[in-house]
């Protein structure tokens, strides 16, 4: 979609406001992993220990994602978001202020993960109610692209704060932004207006739909590769503050550019495979050299495929489920991504500890991306063809009793 098309989309009533609110509410996602990684490594002296705490947090999010997303159809978005936000903030304050053995840090990481507010599921359920069906796929592309602002700004900000002012300050910053961003999103009028119907199907049934299962598996592998890159970059520059943050930022710049450029590209069955080729080749090239300029260039190239691939995940999920199932479906997709983040960060951390070199982290990232590519090719027939059709959810219908 051309720039004028995006401007028109953002002028649609409520779209610009809800995008800004949800990006702010999710901004801590771009800080929390690095903040925890730096804090736990500083406290324990081990990247492996830091990887375990990150894994506990990611597993907590993975377990809770579909459950809290489904709760929104039962108790309403605002109630669920307020409860989870409150607990999550307390968990981050505990990580920042308490001196604990590794199991204690892992327990708090798990609580923080379990209570992560389901912002993504909420906003991607709201989107179909804000725009007409023809604009939904471009909106998913715009969302996937703009979320990269989080990954451009947040890593630089948190690495500077944590290395210059201390890792405790970094975690306190995460807690503060959680409160501010979460409150803005929860109080947004769109959150109050959209009601998610209760799903009539059993919990977990929606993930068995082939497109949702594909989105979950590929999301697991794609985000696992990104998590491994994050750990590798931090180790490459030895917590090197600005260098590590800038390299991670350019990774996201590539994704932002790729996502904006692909906004109107039709999504056919082979769209995912084509986008993952870019990611896999770019990540494979990172292992050639650990020079900051080489890493920056190869990660920009790899990043060009990430937001477009995520847009495909969002579109095929939305187009394959009923509206009452959208929140839970996106919860499962998020679960796949979070388990991938746990696996990618933990494997990369242990390979770094075992070899003493960050190359193992980049190898992990490449293998995860290559596996995602293989899955997208092997199961290409299961991808819905969205060329010439919209990505709106299937309307909920029920029997009508006639007099």
Average pLDDT of every residue of the chain: 84
- Residue 79: partners with Cβ closer than 8 Å, 6 or more residues away: none
Selection from 89-93, 117-121, 285-289, 349-353 with the highest mean pLDDT:
89-93
Q: In terms of C-beta density within 10 A (0-12 exposed, 13-18 middle, 19 or more buried), how is residue 403 classed?
A: exposed
Q: Which residue has the higher pLDDT, 392 or 208?
A: 208
At which residue do the structure tokens 């190239």 appear?
A: 301
Q: What is the pLDDT of residues 41-89, one digit of tens each?
A: 888 877 778 878 987 887 888 888 888 888 887 888 899 999 999 999 9
Whether 304 and 327 have beta carbons less than 8 Å apart is answered as no
Residue 136 to residue 321: CA distance in whole angstroms: 15
Question: What's the pLDDT tens digit per position in 148-182?
Answer: 788 778 877 888 898 889 899 999 999 999 999 99
Q: The whole model's pTM is what?
A: 0.78
DSSP H helices, 194-305, are 210-236, 242-261, 271-285, 292-303
| pLDDT at residue 81, as a whole number | 94
DSSP 401: -
What's domain 10-382's superfamily in CATH? MFS general substrate transporter like domains (1.20.1250.20)
- pLDDT of residue 266 exceeding 60, the answer is yes
Query: What does residue 286 show for φ and ψ, rounded to 5 degrees?
Result: -65, -25
């Amino acid at each position: 979609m051309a720039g004028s098309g995006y401007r028109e989309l953002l002028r649609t009533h409520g779209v610009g406001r809800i995008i800004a609110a949800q990006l702010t509410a999710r901004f801590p996602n771009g800080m929390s992993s690095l903040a925890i990684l730096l804090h736990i490594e500083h406290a324990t002296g081990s990247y492996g220990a830091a990887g375990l705490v990150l894994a506990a947090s990611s597993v907590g999010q993975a377990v809770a994602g579909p459950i809290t997303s489904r709760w929104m159809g039962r108790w309403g978005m605002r109630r669920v978001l307020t409860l989870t936000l409150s607990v999550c903030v307390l968990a981050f304050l505990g990580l920042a202020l308490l001196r604990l053995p590794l199991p204690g840090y892992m327990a708090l990481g798990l609580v923080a993960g379990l209570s992560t507010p389901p912002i993504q599921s909420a906003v991607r359920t709201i989107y179909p109610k804000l725009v007409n069906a023809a604009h939904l796929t471009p909106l998913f592309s715009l969302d996937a692209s703009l979320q990269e602002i989080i990954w451009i700004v947040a890593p630089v900000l948190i690495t500077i704060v944590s290395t210059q002012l201390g890792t405790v300050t970094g975690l306190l910053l995460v807690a503060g932004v959680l409160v501010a961003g979460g409150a803005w999103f929860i109080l947004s009028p769109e959150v109050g207006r959209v009601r998610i119907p209760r799903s009539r199907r059993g919990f977990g049934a929606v993930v068995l739909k082939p497109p949702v299962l594909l989105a979950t598996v590929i999301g697991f592998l794609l985000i696992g590769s990104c998590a491994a890159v994050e750990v590798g970059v931090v180790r490459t520059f030895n917590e090197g503050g600005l260098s590590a943050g800038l390299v991670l930022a350019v990774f996201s710049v590539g994704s932002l550019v790729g996502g904006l450029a692909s906004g109107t590209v039709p999504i056919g069955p082979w769209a995912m495979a084509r986008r993952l080729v870019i990611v896999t080749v770019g990540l494979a090239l990172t292992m050639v050299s650990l020079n900051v300029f080489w890493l920056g260039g190869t990660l920009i190239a790899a990043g060009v495929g990430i937001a477009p691939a995520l847009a495909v995940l969002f579109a095929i999920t939305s187009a394959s489920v009923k509206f009452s199932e959208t929140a839970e479906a996106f919860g499962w997709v998020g679960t796949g991504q979070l388990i991938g983040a746990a696996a990618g960060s933990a494997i990369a951390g242990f390979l770094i500890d075992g070899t003493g070199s960050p190359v193992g982290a980049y190898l992990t990232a490449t293998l995860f991306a290559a596996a995602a590519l293989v899955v997208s090719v092997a199961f290409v027939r299961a991808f819905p063809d969205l060329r010439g059709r919209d990505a709106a959810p299937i309307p909920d219908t029920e029997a009508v009793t006639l007099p």
